[in-house]
Amino acid sequence: MSLVHPSELVADRVLPTLRAMLARRLDERGATQQSIADHLGVSQAAVSNYLGGDVPLEPLVAEDADAQATVDRIATGLDEGEYDGYDVLADLVALVAVLEDRGPVCELHERAMPELRGLGCDLCVRGLDQEAERERAVLASVRQAVRLLSTAPGVAALVPNVGTNVGEALPGAEAVTDVAAIPGRVYTVNGRVEVPSDPEFGASKHVATAVLAAASVDASVRAAVNVATDDAFLERARDRGLSTLEFDADYEERGEHLRERFREFGGVPTVAYHRGAFGIEPVAYVFGESAVDAAERVVSLVDGEG
């Protein structure tokens, strides 16, 4: 594990980039290297390195609109004599706070510490609280579920052409952003299940809609995996006493339609499926109390074990 504090990234990656950007803006305005050095509180040799490209820019910062606007404002203020050191510091402190709040610093932090991926930098912004811990647990569950699906034999045959996904909702979830799933869905490549990225909240509207519908009827059901509708798969589910429910694929409000079908059924089935429609591939949702629970059900029904 790599333990990196966000302040290290600010010191090592963000501030050098901002200094270099500011040095170049002032140079473009005709400032001398010595005056730039005085403004930045660095040596003239350092300014020479900034202007010569010897200090690499962090693209996530250099291309950020807020960073560019702040640097331009500071350069204008210094050039026109309206800014002093206090004003520059105030603008930079405010900018760093913006960059740290689900911005470039957050992305840099996730790259340095993969354990943070999908949390939206909530640890830095909000601190360690119960909500952040619940989010972390849900993300971990989805990661474990997709690992299970990607390594289990036979699962690839059940991945729809449009891809599959695994979703798990936070307790009391109300919106798609409360459901973690895999961005871009999970696909098969050469007969293997490929997972393109780590889970994130709000990454899948389709699986999230099914999960939210299920949770609204039975709060204990907070996860689902979507697979291709397969008769042998459905038959194995019924043989083991698992409930199945067919619903209409051709509808506008999927969430409301599913909620209505679940209420008519008297609860959330283990498997809800449709046979497809024009332009709609047949898909089945396997529900569970967690993403791992739903994935384990899929695997057990694929390989024929009890």
Which pLDDT tens digit goes with each residue over 76-105? 999 999 999 888 999 999 998 888 877 888
Domain residue limits, the chain: 6-116, 130-303
Of the ranges 62-66, 108-112, 229-233, which one carries the lowest mean pLDDT score? 108-112
**Other residues' Cβ atoms within 10 Å of the Cβ of residue 124:** 18
Give CA–CA dist 23/71, Å, rounded.
9
Question: Which residues make Cβ contacts (< 8 Å) with residue 222, sequence separation at least 6?
Answer: 168, 169, 170, 171, 173, 211, 214, 215, 289, 290
Q: How confident is the model at residue 145 (pLDDT cuts 50, 70, 90)?
A: very high
Considering the four listed CATH numbers 1.10.260.40, 3.40.225.10, 3.20.20.60, 3.40.50.620, the one that applies to the domain covering 130-303 is 3.40.225.10
Q: How confident is the model at residue 305 (pLDDT cuts 50, 70, 90)?
A: very low
Statement: residue 303 has pLDDT above 80? no
Q: What is this structure's pTM?
A: 0.63
Q: Is the dihedral of CA 262, 265, 271, 277 positive or negative?
A: negative
**Other residues' Cβ atoms within 10 Å of the Cβ of residue 227:** 25
Q: How confident is the model at residue 74 (pLDDT cuts 50, 70, 90)?
A: very high
Which pLDDT tens digit goes with each residue over 27-62? 999 999 999 999 988 899 999 998 988 888 999 999
Could you give the residue ranges of the DSSP H alpha helices within 152-290? Answer: 205-217, 231-239, 254-265
